[in-house]
Amino acid sequence: MNVALLASVTIVLLLAIAILSTISQKRERFAEPGFFGRIKNAIVGPETSQAPAQTAVVDGKTYPVCKDRSKLPTPDKYGRRWGYENGASCVVLSKPATAQTAVVDGKTYPVCKDRSKLPAPDKYGRRWGYENGASCVVLSKPATAQTGTSSKDNSLVVDGKRYPRCRQAKQPFTYDRFGYRHAVGLDGKACVDPPIKTTYNGEAARLCWNSRAPHIVDKQGYRLSSESGSKCVVPPNTVSINGRRYPKCKDKKSIKQVDEFGNRGGKEDGKWCALPPHTVPLGSNIYSICRQPQGPLKPDKNGYHLAHEKDGTPCAVPPPSVVIEGKLYPICKDPKNATTVDKHGHKHGQENGRECVVPALPKYIGTPAVPKYIGTPAVPKYIGTPAVSKYIATPAPTPQPPSTQMIDGKVYPICKDRSRLPAPDQYGRQWGWENEASCVVMN
């Protein structure tokens, strides 16, 4: 019986050993990284990613992180607590380590460690110093774009200075090299409008504030221009007036109004349309004809004068000219150069490589009436006391200066504003441009 009991216990022990061996093998197999390891990494990343950092970089040198923090001193001014473990210095960063370098204008500078003697920040918020034989910097505020930075109050930073946006502004407008429009608001304070974005050949571009600036026209019909050194474009069949885009009017008869700069506006199909001012090609650019020329006039060899409007936009003042079928022609200085006669009777010719015109004489029906004077004023007779003069008939009115002048068979108005007239020509005549027509002053 004892033998049977001993055999039974032996069998139970052998079965227990076998079961424990099997469980141990399964645990080892499932612990391999090729199974649960891969699945875990695929979901939450490697197991080591959750472990705290064991080292810290301070001033470019690596230190172990202190394990026992119970006896560490208070943090230094940079938030670091130093200790000594295993024969070496260790550290605990009480707050995230700050950047040890800063990039300014594409160049990397070390961050200044001693900030007690740094000068005041420059206009970009940077404080510069000198440590270890090299320049260092501290960014007092996060680096941002120095132009165009918007804030919560809807203002803009332009060239390091903050401005409110223009809501209602007084003209004239001015434009800076970044493409921003500057003005004075109704409250009397300076304000700014940001550039208007568009595209040109698939790339980002800036829309010109006005179509009046000197420009060239490419093969696609884009106006390529520059405002205060900032390049801009106006798409084809579009007119830009103070930053607003209008489609070009198809019919000139739709024009109902003209502004002070020569922009023409009207309506077609119930919608506003526009045409830019009249232009003239000079050199490699196309200029708008001045409406209110400012500044000294600079004549070119063809008699055109370069000036600018009151908002600073360059423009051209044409020489004495005539409009024939909607096209502007200068008047020939020497009538002998004009030999071809058109259907209107105007003679065409060439001077300085440009077409010029001698306009046809206006047709007068009848002749002006000759004034008739009946009698002459009586001559007063003085006998002793002067006799009171008796005039029969009303005294002749004081002659007024003429308002027109005939030159080469054509009648021109006399210029009213003589302050900006160019120098006299070879015949002593000073030419100007008023009320959409040439005017003259005879010296």
Q: What pLDDT digit, counting tens, does each position of 63-110 carry? A: 888 888 888 888 887 778 888 888 888 888 765 445 577 777 667 788
Instruction: Give the DSSP per-residue string, 263-317.
Output: -EEEEETTEEEEEPPPEEEETTEEEEBPSS-EEEEEE-TTS-EEEE-TTS-EEEE
* Per-residue confidence band for 418, with pLDDT thresholds at 50, 70 and 90: confident
* Per-residue confidence band for 161, with pLDDT thresholds at 50, 70 and 90: confident
Average pLDDT of the chain is 75
* Cα-based distances in Å from 288 to 41, 154, 238: 70, 35, 16
Omega before residue 413 within 30° of 0, cis = no
* Per-residue confidence band for 407, with pLDDT thresholds at 50, 70 and 90: confident
> What is the β-pairing status of strands 294-299 and 305-308?
antiparallel
More confident residue, 442 or 4: 442
CA dihedral of residues 126, 129, 132, 135 (deg, nearest 10): 60
Work out whether the CA dihedral 328, 330, 335, 339 comes out positive or negative.
negative
Q: What is the pLDDT of residue 309?
A: 84
Q: Model pTM?
A: 0.42
More confident residue, 73 or 232: 232
pLDDT digits (tens, 9 = 90+) for 234-244: 999 999 888 88
* Per-residue confidence band for 43, with pLDDT thresholds at 50, 70 and 90: very low
Instruction: Give the DSSP per-residue string, 45-111.
Output: --GGGGSPPSEEEETTEEEEBPS--TT-----TTSEEEEEETTEEEEEESSPPPPSEEEETTEEEEB
Identify the DSSP state of 363.
P
Q: What is the pLDDT of residue 42?
A: 31
Highest mean pLDDT among 99-103, 310-314, 340-344: 340-344
Query: Which of 296-305, 345-354, 392-401 bottoms out in mean pLDDT, i.e. has the lowest?
Result: 392-401
Q: What is the pLDDT of residue 31?
A: 38
Query: Which of 43-57, 239-253, 338-352 bottoms out in mean pLDDT, i.e. has the lowest?
Result: 43-57
* Per-residue confidence band for 26, with pLDDT thresholds at 50, 70 and 90: very low
- 246 CB neighbour count, 10 Å cutoff: 19
Task: List the beta bridge partners of residue 338.
Answer: 349
Q: What is the pLDDT of residue 349?
A: 92
CA dihedral of residues 105, 111, 114, 117 (deg, nearest 10): 10
Q: What is the pLDDT of residue 378?
A: 60
Q: Which two tokens stand for residue 361?
A: 């004489």
What is the distance between the terminal CA atoms of the chain, rounded to a whole angstrom? 155
Task: Round to whole Å and give the CA distance between 285 and 216.
Answer: 6
Q: Is the pLDDT of residue 32 over 80?
A: no
Task: Round to whole Å and give the CA distance between 149 and 159.
Answer: 10
CB 266 within 8 A of CB 258: no
Q: Is the pLDDT of residue 141 over 70?
A: no
